[in-house]
Chain A
Amino acid sequence: MTGSGTAVFLSELGRALPAITEGLLVTLEATGLGAALALLVAFALGLAARSRLLPVRGAARFAVELLRGTSLYVQLFWLFFALPMLGFRLEPMACGVLAFGLNYGAYGAEVVRGSIAAVPAAQTEAAIALGMGPGLRLRRIVLPQAYALMVPPFKNLLIQLLKATPLLSLVTVADLTFRIDQLRAATGGTAAAYLLLLLLYFCVAALLGAGMNALERRAQARLGVVGGDA
């Protein structure tokens, strides 16, 4: 970029700042809502996958494989383009949140299931020996310990989800990628615009990662694990 090009880019950037901030908020909103839905789906499917009833277990298993196996990209496009042909039209943002929540929720379900299975059986036995029923055991003994195992993989999934949000710009949502692409088109400052965009995502990812690391340290401190991964 030439010197005057840089000047043009910077002045345009100044003018576009409110729009970029708005795009950033949309990206954060999609990440937050998608993650919340994913968490819900993860626990629902993860717990159902441990059910003693074969039909419940089978249905959960099938849902997880279906949602993981069909590609997030296709799911989003399906919700945005194909679903209206069945008579249901969702807001573009709702399509995104739904697709992120279902897809990452299915991955999260495996995390929930695996983490619960990783809590030593002796803990459940100790709870049985104290007369605790299945619901109480799960809620008060197993889940609090499984939680510490869930945080690190959930951190990865959260950052993956954030990295998937630029898909929103393909279905007309004015997210961060969409806004910066507008800036790029207006200035021709392609390299600078994309570098800025990548840096913004990197910062958001770093912040989310730091937050999850703090959760992980707290969870490990509660379990008395010394020198948890910092």
Chain B
Amino acid sequence: MPIETVPGPEKVRFDRVTKRFGDQTVLDGLDLAVAPGERVTLIGPSGSGKTTILRLLMTLERVTDGVVHVDGEPFSHMPSGPGGKLVPADERYLAPRRRRVGMVFQQFNLFPHLSVLANVTEAPRHVLGLDADEAAARARDLLGLVGLADKEDAHPTRLSGGQQQRVAIARALAMRPELLLLDEVTSALDPELVAEVLDVLRDVAAGTDITMLCVTHEMAFARDVSDRLLMFDRGRVLESGPPGKLLDAPEHERTREFLRSIR
């Protein structure tokens, strides 16, 4: 698998990244590059390492080997000492850099002790240092965007799954991330609630230039928003290309098999 070339500076670059859990290899020397503003969707059977890529980018996991770069500088690691040798990044190095990355989770992970509004204002206030009014104004804008302007005082557990996930999207956007990671954001939802979440994400994709990395089984959504699809299999990229090509004329039998299996 040759290193993929992307024109211009790269937003994200995985450099021979390996991730093992115990003796199970989830990613095996992965090379990957994403351009600024690009929307990339990762597809493939479960256990193929897609979610691990997002979790490595969010620093929820540490790489076993290799380096993850964001905006042309190391992200999983940091330069240390006079020689600039790369060592695993510590909290102080990560703190300012992590703010540029946002993530929406499969299980929403809203904070149950905070109201809807406070879920969205929490990080802007205490991480970015916005004052209460600024943060609330920003949060109300976003809750309007996701169609939940009337729910700001509600308790998260009183909302439907679709509503909770829309709050989680607003919460992530409130940090004005440059890179947004979407980890199977509709997989935990009842089928009739999937559309409302995907519609919001289509709006976000159309209305911003945020770089997006997305793991999903919703192929219609992937086709609509993605510039590029990556088909994963056993920790490696099996094939990649624009959604039209990969979905309609896949090269590999395994890709065809996978696409058949999820219809």
User: Within 8 Å of chain A (Cβ to Cβ): is B260?
Assistant: no
Q: Which residues of A contact B111 (CB under 8 A)?
A: 123, 126, 141, 145
> Is B112 a contact partner of A129 (Cβ separation < 8 A)?
no
> Is A132 a contact partner of B113 (Cβ separation < 8 A)?
no
> Is B126 a contact partner of A132 (Cβ separation < 8 A)?
yes
Q: Which residues of B contact A145 (CB under 8 A)?
A: 111-113
How far is the CB of B157 from the nearest CB of chain A, in Å?
4
Question: Interface size (A, Cβ < 8 Å)?
Answer: 20
> Is B105 a contact partner of A133 (Cβ separation < 8 A)?
no
How far is the CB of A136 from the nearest CB of chain B, in Å?
6
Q: Which of B137-156 contact A (CB under 8 A)?
A: 155-156
What separation, in Å, do the CA atoms of A125 and B109 have in the docked complex? 8
Pick from B59, B123, B172: contact of A132, CB under 8 Å: B123
* A126-B109, A224-B156 given; A131·B175 CB < 8 A: yes
User: Within 8 Å of chain B (Cβ to Cβ): is A15?
Assistant: no
Give A140-152 as 1s and 0s: 1 = Cβ < 8 Å from B's Cβ atoms: 1100110010000
Q: Which residues of B contact A128 (CB under 8 A)?
A: 58-60, 98
A-B contact number at CB 8 A: 66
Question: Interface size (B, Cβ < 8 Å)?
Answer: 30
> Is A136 a contact partner of B127 (Cβ separation < 8 A)?
yes
User: Within 8 Å of chain B (Cβ to Cβ): is A130?
Assistant: yes
What separation, in Å, do the CA atoms of A122 and B181 have in the docked complex? 15
What separation, in Å, do the CA atoms of A56 and B78 have in the docked complex? 26
User: Within 8 Å of chain A (Cβ to Cβ): is B103?
Assistant: yes
The secondary-structure label for the interface of chain A is: helix
Pick from B110, B113, B172: contact of A129, CB under 8 Å: B172
Q: Give the nearest-CB partner of A221 in chain B.
A: B155
Give B100-138 as 1s and 0s: 1 = Cβ < 8 Å from A's Cβ atoms: 011101010111110000000011001110000000000
What separation, in Å, do the CA atoms of A223 and B157 have in the docked complex? 8
Q: Which residues of A contact B105 (CB under 8 A)?
A: 122, 125-126, 129
* A140-B122, A224-B157 given; A129·B102 CB < 8 A: yes
What separation, in Å, do the CA atoms of A133 and B101 have in the docked complex? 14
What separation, in Å, do the CA atoms of A211 and B105 have in the docked complex? 38
Q: Which of A144-193 contact B (CB under 8 A)?
A: 144-145, 148
How far is the CB of B101 from the nearest CB of chain A, in Å?
7
Q: Which residues of B contact A132 (CB under 8 A)?
A: 123, 126-127
> Is A130 a contact partner of B113 (Cβ separation < 8 A)?
no
User: Within 8 Å of chain A (Cβ to Cβ): is B206?
Assistant: no
How far is the CB of A23 from the nearest CB of chain B, in Å?
41
User: Within 8 Å of chain B (Cβ to Cβ): is A89?
Assistant: no
User: Within 8 Å of chain A (Cβ to Cβ): is B171?
Assistant: yes
User: Within 8 Å of chain B (Cβ to Cβ): is A3?
Assistant: no
User: Within 8 Å of chain A (Cβ to Cβ): is B263?
Assistant: no
How far is the CB of A128 from the nearest CB of chain B, in Å?
6
User: Within 8 Å of chain B (Cβ to Cβ): is A69?
Assistant: no
User: Within 8 Å of chain B (Cβ to Cβ): is A227?
Assistant: no
> Is B60 a contact partner of A125 (Cβ separation < 8 A)?
yes
User: Within 8 Å of chain A (Cβ to Cβ): is B85?
Assistant: no
Known: A129-B60, A131-B95. 13 other contacts (CB 8 A): A125-B60, A126-B105, A126-B111, A128-B58, A128-B60, A129-B103, A130-B122, A131-B98, A133-B91, A140-B122, A140-B126, A145-B113, A224-B157
Binding site for A on B (CB under 8 A): 58-60, 91, 95, 98-99, 101-103, 105, 107, 109-113, 122-123, 126-128, 155-158, 171-172, 175, 181
Binding site for B on A (CB under 8 A): 122-123, 125-126, 128-134, 136, 140-141, 144-145, 148, 222-224
